[in-house]
Amino acid sequence: MERKSALQSMSRKHRYLMEDIFIAYLAMGTYLTLIGSVLPGIKAEYQISYQVGGWMMSAQQIGYLVSGIAASLIASRIGVKVTYLTFGTLAFIGLALMIVTGNPAVLLFAMLLTGLCKGCTANFGNQITSTLSNNDSSLLNLAQAFFAIGTCLAPIITVLCGASWRTAFVITIAMGVLTFLHGLRIEIGPEAFRQETNVGKPDLGFFKKSIFWICCLLLMCYLAFEASVMGWLVTFFVDSGAAAETAAQLLATALWVAVLIGRFASAWFATRFRPEHMMLVMTAGVVVCFSVMMFSHTFVPMAAATFGLGLFMAGMYGTTLGGSDNLIGQYPMCMGMFIVIPGIGSAVTQSAIGTLADQVGIRGGMYFLYVLLAILIFSTALFLRYHNKQNRE
């Protein structure tokens, strides 16, 4: 009920803006997951190695972290709406480039474009949602739920298109065109997106807040983990012999259906439980489910663990932002830093998995994610300690 009241209390202009953000998140979930779903086909047709595949994923993360800062600075000069719409088209230009050529340099550039688009959509979308909802974890998780809808659509599109991954890309590009057309009517005023009034000397006071660095660690672990699972899951299942390609696509679909359910569930739980308690449960669930998935060699436990992994990691992003003491609303540059700093970890992780996979196989490469899980456990403990201290005070 609280989530519905928050949306209903908004003006018609702001509700339309939130609708556009939901649509943009849906499109973002589709193209990001689709790339991972068709990566085995791209890899086979263009004869690229695991290492090049890892570089492609890292290029996407580099674009993501660069746009965390660049998009806000560009918006201060040409306007928020123009920046939001322009960056929002880059991913679909990147998909078009991948359709026409397998040149490694062009593939890296195309993935860079998808990352720039992802970063801008996440930056602007989270800031606007946080500002209009007064940092409501429920609405932040609802926005992430639309991302999960897109992640569920991607494997379905892949299966329906069969071996023609180019057709799947064309369908997604058409989705991007519709998203752009919808966005032409939005209005983004200062009450929805607060910009720096002094670009030469932005307010960086959030760097002095311990909760900022704790949330950065949590976001780094989550974003790198999600990007790795999204980018390598189908390849992992197929190349390790754990599942045939069709079964791997079904497992990927199950994962993102679970994420979708988990995002809506997180939006509901966020109105009843504190962020630190939710994070503790989610971290424990992710560690257990990922371990079961990695060490299983039969379909049933692997499928159950994959589904559970999606449920538990679904609410991590929105819950972390909701537990950041409203730093996003207080400091315009904070959301950009929440993208840039964690993005560095994501870029390193993608490249490391590809490099390790060339040496010891894709299963060995995926073991690198246990480094992230160790950091996730540590940062969750800090998150819990910080909020317990704040509650006592």
Query: Residues near 272 by Cβ (< 8 Å), separated by ≥ 6?
Result: none
User: Cα angle at 267 between 31 and 183, to 5 degrees?
Assistant: 45
- pTM (global) more than 0.85: no
Q: Are 16 and 152 in contact (CB under 8 A)?
A: no
Q: What structural domains and CATH numbers belong to the chain? A: 2-185+206-392 (1.20.1250.20)
pLDDT in tens, the chain (393 residues): 344 556 667 778 888 898 999 999 999 989 988 887 788 788 888 888 888 887 888 888 888 878 877 887 888 888 889 999 999 999 999 999 999 988 989 999 999 999 999 888 988 888 888 777 776 666 777 787 788 788 888 878 888 887 788 999 999 999 999 999 999 998 887 777 766 554 455 667 778 888 889 998 998 888 888 878 877 787 788 777 777 777 887 787 788 788 888 878 887 887 788 888 999 999 999 999 999 988 887 778 888 998 999 899 888 888 888 788 777 767 767 777 787 777 777 777 877 887 888 888 888 888 889 998 999 999 999 999 998 888 776
- Asked if 164 and 45 count as a contact pair (C-beta separation under 8 A), the reply is no
Please report how the helices 369-392 and 210-239 are oriented relative to each other, as an axis angle in degrees rounded to 10.
Answer: 150
Do residues 282 and 323 touch, judged by C-beta distance below 8 A? no
Residue 311 φ then ψ, to 5°: -60, -45
Burial 273-295 (b: 16+ CB within 10 A, else e): ebbbebbbebbebbbebbebbbe
State how far the Cα of 95 lies from the Cα of 93, in Å rounded to an integer. Answer: 5
